[in-house]
Chain A
């Protein structure tokens, strides 16, 4: 068998099989016809045909987010590849492990402005962890192995493998390497023991401690360690948009999300703590605002991250620790448990008293007696009806923030959203990826009428695969987040943020073969949700909630401003 030669196309498919891939999202075209012919002949993985390449990549991305495994997408050359770019950039910004195989024109035609040729490696270079152009079939298997290895290790990220059509025809012997080593890439690192000791010490000395966690906790599967540390110390914890679910949101030690639309208690505690432990978070502009005003009283900052370049990028830290977050936290926990020192209970009690004072302002309150549907209410009801156990994807805008604020994620990998790039159009294809990964799970996509229209064609894919998603459309008639900024910062000049002629979403859903509902009154919200998750459990239900068009996301710290400028309800 060993001496049997395979074509490049066969090799691609074999590699995916040998990598243990079960689902591939994609869209065919000239340059990948040979690969698709091999996909046709095999049964090892399912190929999910989407309706637009962007959706294939988002679906593969979400598949990775909810499972922790590498997502896979295949697209053709030229427009297939350019359509995929938004999806690749989305995954890159959120450090999602993914392999995207792109077709390319035959090697001899490269550089000739051939039909459907683009410089895919060039176009994607700034938004991939790495990319490859495979010019020789003998390098194909090793390159694909490297792609999976690079995507999944260290700080994860998308890797593009560009395969010219002739390479898919050429033949060579196939052997899938069990592992690869690269002298230029050594991602696994253990935290520095001395630094770890210092961090443990610092945490124990804190009078006003704060723990701030990000997407790195979710990606690094470190939620158990975070929970153990937080409970061991009894310290307050907050999380970024990307980190939600990394610590159970309903727990009283959790202060809610921080940042631009974070809670008062989380942002105030960040500002006034004396020791800050940052785990798998990158102090980005939506969290820190202006770095000059950030956490001024934090005498000491400890920062754990797998990526050295995340450390001291925006905020100077005192104890940088580069390493896998879970491993580092394990070590810190060990130090604290075996040492004699204990946290200063009196100081911590006083600190909590202060935090409870902030918390008592109840910054997420909203008008519950409104006669129009409040979007927050829909999310709260969704939380209740799904018992907090759904996978929730979202698009980008106000609805995304309300989802983050009011759906109390208790587990990691349940909250799937485009935090870094902020890609409208992510939600629906992401929900497809999640549902393929977890066929029996409850999957909801919280979206806006602007965002959902950016990949609405995927309703067709959902029909083909009978994906029983629930689309929770918070329909405020506006590009709400844009409208909110215009209201606050542009003297209510609502430039192009209102869409007339929205489709009849119920008919639209029905046209695609799904169930549609429009909900206009607050008292109908819960029954509609119960019907969708009960009677229509096995169907895709498109719930069009007509929500208060003028509702805003609060609290809000305007971009680049400090906490003192926080806007409250």
Chain B
């Protein structure tokens, strides 16, 4: 099953490689990984999207907890949560496709950030599935370039991850 795991960790050099090293050494898969400092500059927050059986996910959380730099681990999938991903996509937008692209971007609540004679660069945020849906909805030949951040996640309601 797909799981989305949140980590709070010491903002130390090498902390990221400890996490990624753990995943590769133990053969866990990483679908995406995002990381940035939090409002407390000594802490970083990471979101990892992974897949595995319950046993594997249990091991992943235990092994993450065991890393000395990691302050907190939470499997967001255990409760209700929100996840968002940002995608920038550059599409062909010439001739009659130009209007069509604008329309598609609007439907998906995208923003056109940059324009050239032949292209649009569109910003889209949402759950990964929405971004997938956008890419599926437009003509594949029109896609020139995509870049995605991977998911960031947070618990819903009163569910707070803090130290």
> Are A184 and B17 in contact (CB-based, < 8 A)?
no
Inter-chain pairs besides A150-B68, A309-B59, 16 sampled, C-beta below 8 Å: A125-B14, A125-B17, A129-B68, A130-B68, A133-B14, A183-B71, A184-B9, A184-B10, A184-B68, A184-B69, A185-B68, A307-B66, A308-B62, A308-B65, A309-B62, A312-B55
Q: What's the nearest-Cβ distance from chain B to residue A121, in Å?
A: 6
Judged by a CB distance under 8 angstroms, whether A527 is at the interface is no
| Docked CA distance A150–B68 (Å) | 8
Produce 1/0 per residue, B26-66, CB < 8 A to A: 00000000000000000000000000000100110011011
Q: Give the number of chain A interface residues (Cβ < 8 Å).
A: 17
Residues of A within 8 A of B66 (CB): 307-309
Q: What's the nearest-Cβ distance from chain B to residue A304, in Å?
A: 16
Indicate the member of B10, B17, B25, B62 with the most A CB atoms within 10 Å: B62
| Docked CA distance A182–B67 (Å) | 12
**Can you spell out 22 A-B residue pairs with CB atoms less than 8 angstroms apart?**
A122-B17, A125-B17, A125-B21, A126-B21, A129-B68, A130-B68, A133-B14, A150-B68, A183-B163, A184-B9, A184-B10, A184-B68, A184-B69, A184-B70, A308-B62, A308-B66, A309-B62, A309-B63, A309-B66, A312-B55, A312-B58, A313-B59
Residue of A nearest to B55 (CB): A312
Residues of B within 8 A of A150 (CB): 68
Residue of A nearest to B66 (CB): A309
Q: Which 8 pairs, one residue from A and one from B, show the smallest C-beta to C-beta distance?
A: A309-B62, A130-B68, A184-B71, A308-B62, A126-B25, A185-B68, A309-B63, A309-B66
Residue of A nearest to B68 (CB): A130
Judged by a CB distance under 8 angstroms, whether B137 is at the interface is no
Q: Which of B9, B10, B18 contacts A125 (CB 8 A)?
A: B18
Judged by a CB distance under 8 angstroms, whether B141 is at the interface is no
User: Chain A interface secondary structure, helix, strand, loop or mixed?
Assistant: mixed
Q: What's the nearest-Cβ distance from chain A to residue B54, in Å?
A: 10
Residue of B nearest to A130 (CB): B68
> Are A121 and B62 in contact (CB-based, < 8 A)?
no
Q: What's the nearest-Cβ distance from chain B to residue A41, in Å?
A: 33
Residues of B within 8 A of A307 (CB): 66
| Docked CA distance A308–B58 (Å) | 10
Q: What's the nearest-Cβ distance from chain A to residue B87, in Å?
A: 32
| Docked CA distance A121–B74 (Å) | 27
| Docked CA distance A3–B17 (Å) | 38
Residues of B within 8 A of A313 (CB): 59
Residues of B within 8 A of A121 (CB): 14
| Docked CA distance A43–B149 (Å) | 57
Residues of A within 8 A of B63 (CB): 309
Produce 1/0 per residue, A181-195, CB < 8 A to B: 011110000000000
Residue of B nearest to A309 (CB): B62
| Docked CA distance A183–B12 (Å) | 14
Produce 1/0 per residue, A99-128, CB < 8 A to B: 000000000000000000000011001100
Judged by a CB distance under 8 angstroms, whether B13 is at the interface is yes
Residues of B within 8 A of A312 (CB): 55, 58
> Are A182 and B17 in contact (CB-based, < 8 A)?
no
Residues of B within 8 A of A133 (CB): 13-14
Residues of B within 8 A of A130 (CB): 68-69
Residues of A within 8 A of B65 (CB): 308-309
Residues of B within 8 A of A129 (CB): 68
| Docked CA distance A125–B63 (Å) | 14
Produce 1/0 per residue, B4-24, CB < 8 A to A: 000001100110011001000
Q: What's the nearest-Cβ distance from chain B to residue A75, in Å?
A: 20
Residues of B within 8 A of A185 (CB): 68
| Docked CA distance A313–B65 (Å) | 14
| Docked CA distance A313–B71 (Å) | 22
Residue of A nearest to B18 (CB): A125
Q: What's the nearest-Cβ distance from chain A to residue B37, in Å?
A: 15
Residues of B within 8 A of A183 (CB): 71, 163
A window 292-310: CB within 8 A of B: 307-309
| Docked CA distance A125–B18 (Å) | 7
Residue of A nearest to B15 (CB): A184
Produce 1/0 per residue, B56-98, CB < 8 A to A: 0011001101101111000000000000000000000000000
Q: What's the nearest-Cβ distance from chain B to residue A543, in Å?
A: 41
Residue of A nearest to B65 (CB): A308
| Docked CA distance A121–B66 (Å) | 18
Q: Which of A122, A126, A182, A308 contacts B68 (CB 8 A)?
A: A182
A window 130-163: CB within 8 A of B: 130, 133, 150
Residues of A within 8 A of B14 (CB): 121, 125, 133
Q: What's the nearest-Cβ distance from chain B to residue A565, in Å?
A: 26
Residue of A nearest to B8 (CB): A184
Residues of A within 8 A of B70 (CB): 184
Residues of A within 8 A of B9 (CB): 184
| Docked CA distance A511–B136 (Å) | 77
| Docked CA distance A312–B53 (Å) | 13
| Docked CA distance A133–B13 (Å) | 9
| Docked CA distance A308–B25 (Å) | 19
Residues of A within 8 A of B69 (CB): 130, 184
| Docked CA distance A549–B63 (Å) | 44
| Docked CA distance A543–B14 (Å) | 48
